Amino acid sequence: MSGVFYGIGVGPGDPELLTVKAIHAIKDVDVLIAPKTEKKEGSVALSIAQPYLKEDVKIVYQVFPMVRGFAENSTDAWANNKKEILALLEEGKNVAFLTLGDPMFYSTYIYVYRLLEHEPVEIRTIPGIPAFAAIGSQMGYPIVEGNDILAVIPATAAPEKVEKALDAADNAVLMKVYKNFGEVTDILARHDMSRQAVLVSRAGLEEERIIHDIEAHKEEKLNYLSTILTRKN
């Protein structure tokens, strides 16, 4: 009998922010797939889940190269990862893929799900708290209220797309603010959204950093896990 494949969101960083359902699944699975980058050792998602791992769980690290136009450009590495996961499931093992934040929100898990969704396997996806939700609660910063329109924007998007999204929004969340922090800050300033902004890097993790005056820090380098919450004045 084939095992069950779980996609588990482990939240932004604090292990206490995992859901009860996520913790139960982590404790029950036979194998944990821990995504890692090609350049770094270890897995942030795995470190967050560490307090809940059972002693004999098997940890499998997989590298998932980032590609644009996934359906057309997925690489041999992705195919090999899929093959490895299916082999474990065919052995009857329950397998979990750990991901930061929520599995269906700007997550590598989405691509893994697409690899497996048409295979004869059972998939259960367990939601997690996205970083911006945790930051809003931590900072006492309402993300939206009343009839506010919220834009959730990857800072890696083309500047013209960011501009259009901000034109339509009352409040905004900008994620992955790292490569172009200065440019993003300038765009927010043009929309009168820089002075109300708060940036949190590595929320809930070691080396967490909070920046209120983003214009004063816009030349600095940031960690990939950096998020801005802001609103129009």
pLDDT in tens, 54-96: 999 999 998 877 655 544 455 688 889 999 999 999 999 999 9
Average pLDDT over residues 168-192: 95
Residue 77, pLDDT score: 82
38 pLDDT more than 60 = no
The CA–CA distances, whole Å, from 56 to 5, 49, 59, 98 equal 18, 15, 9, 17
Paired strand residues for 8: 98, 126
Statement: residue 153 has pLDDT above 70: yes
Q: Cα–Cα distance between 109 and 80 in angstroms, integer?
A: 15
Q: Which two tokens stand for residue 222?
A: 């940031």
Q: What is the pLDDT of residue 215?
A: 94
Average pLDDT over residues 17-21: 97
In 37-186, DSSP assigns E strands to 58-63, 95-99, 122-126, 150-154, 171-175
How far is Cα of residue 36 from the mean position of the Cα atoms in its chain?
A: 13
Whole-number pLDDT of residue 63: 86
CA 54, 60, 66, 69 torsion-angle sign: negative
Q: Which residue has the tokens 């996806």?
A: 125
* Domains observed in the chain: 4-126 (3.40.1010.10), 131-231 (3.30.950.10)
- Yes or no: say if 222 and 180 are a contact pair by the CB < 8 Å rule: no
Rg (CA), the chain: 19
Helix (H) or strand (E) holding 116: helix 108-116
Which whole number is the average pLDDT over 176-198? Answer: 94
**Mean residue pLDDT across the chain:** 91
CB 127 within 8 A of CB 19: yes
pLDDT for 66: 64
Model pTM score: 0.88
**pLDDT > 90: percent of the chain:** 81
pLDDT category, 29, cuts 50, 70, 90? very high
Three-class DSSP labels, 145-208: CCCCCEEEEECCCCHHHHHHHHHHCCEEEEECCCCCHHHHHHHHHHCCCCCCCEEEECCCCCCC
What values do phi and psi take at 228, rounded to 5? -110, 135
Quote the strand ranges of 45-203, DSSP E.
58-63, 95-99, 122-126, 150-154, 171-175, 198-201
Token pair of 9 as six digits: 């969101």
Helix (H, G, I), strand (E, B) or coil at 113: helix
Percent of the chain with pLDDT over 70: 93
